[in-house]
Amino acid sequence: MKKRRILQAGRLLPSLEARLAAEFDTTLLADQPDPASFLAAHGGEFEGFVTSAGVGYTAGTLATLTKLRVISSFGVGLDKLDLAAAKARGIAVGYTPDVLNDCVADLAMALMLDIGRRVSEADRFVRRGGWTTPGAKSFPLARKVSGAKLGIVGLGRIGQTIAKRATGFEMDIRYHSRRPVEGVVWRHEASLVELARWCDYLVVITAGGAGTRHLVNAEVLDALGPRGFLVNVARGSVIDEVALVRALAERRIAGAGLDVFENEPNVPRELFELDNVVLLPHIASGTEETRQAMADRVFDNLQGFFRDGRMVSPAPFP
């Protein structure tokens, strides 16, 4: 039987590429010298499209894929997937929720511990000889994480996983989202500004996209205040980055741990000079185990669709 033609937007884990190539006739769009001309000439040949949360797709790309029936995306973020355009064409979309909850929550905890306890800063202190320099000032005291007040912005799959971990650290937990979550013990705070004012650590784990753009603005940062820390493992767009850089530089907030940025991979240069911020290259789901589980889900979604029209995790259409 002739294999189905699948277009692959960018490079994926080698194990996933091998699995896809064994089952389908795959073509890598990123390998084409001129992807736009390639899509114009050959877009109509593909039944499936594999992309990722970071690359996504636009309505324009979709328009060239005239025979497309299914999209399978690597990642849980939907902000770069034009779901409305897929829905209008009756194209099914799959993504990879849940399998990454643990690792993203672990990294949120790691960032909280790092900025609170000054872990990265202390490492830099040792490496530059601060500990052994005679007469040098001792390393500054840090802040406690266990038992501190944690505000979670977005209590979805990952937010709830963070809350469970923080419970083990005996943190006092409240959260903000548009609607209170049923059946959880943590207190909902309707006002994000009030949550920021109350907490020691504000961890952002909402969806990205237009609905949450600059949700954390100068007013929220000022409410967090000079004793408050910010952690962002959601999307760079959720925070007003200009306001954040200013708040950090002027010490109007205590510090920040950031895995994501507004204009990735470009990180504001001003942040490189600051000791009260930890900067990561968008690695929250980046463990061998979780990336493999995500890869398996990308494949299973495609295979399930072609087998009986059912994906393991269909994306929620607007």
Active-site amino acid positions: 235, 264, 282
Quote the tokens at residue 52: 């990722």
Strand ranges (DSSP E) for the chain?
5-8, 25-28, 48-52, 70-74, 92-94, 149-153, 172-176, 187-188, 201-204, 229-232, 255-258, 277-279
**DSSP code, position 311:** -
- 215: contact with ligand NDP by CB under 6 A: yes
Rank residues 26 and 290 by Cβ distance to ligand NDP and give the closer one: 290
Least distance CB 196 / ligand NDP (angstroms): 13
Quote the tokens at residue 112: 């909280």
- 211: contact with ligand NDP by CB under 6 A: yes
Rounded to a whole number of angstroms, the CA Rg of the chain reads 22
- 214: contact with ligand NDP by CB under 6 A: no
Q: Residue 112's closest CA among 23, 230, 197, 20? A: 230
Least distance CB 102 / ligand NDP (angstroms): 11
Q: Which residue is nearest to ligand NDP (CB)?
A: 156
**DSSP code, position 200:** S
Rank residues 26 and 212 by Cβ distance to ligand NDP and give the closer one: 212
- Sites for ligand NDP among residues 177-196 (CB under 6 A): 177-179
Beta bridge partners of 231: 203, 257
DSSP assignment of 209-220: SGGGTT-B-HHH
Q: Applying CB under 6 A, what is the total number of residues that bind ligand NDP? A: 30
- 97: contact with ligand NDP by CB under 6 A: yes
Least distance CB 100 / ligand NDP (angstroms): 5
Least distance CB 151 / ligand NDP (angstroms): 12
C-alpha to C-alpha distance for 242 and 157, rounded to whole angstroms: 29
> 5, 42, 69, 157: which one contacts ligand NDP (CB under 6 A)?
157
What does the binding site for ligand NDP look like in residue numbers (CB under 6 A)? Answer: 76-77, 97, 100, 104, 154-159, 176-179, 205-208, 211-212, 215, 233-235, 259-260, 282, 284-285
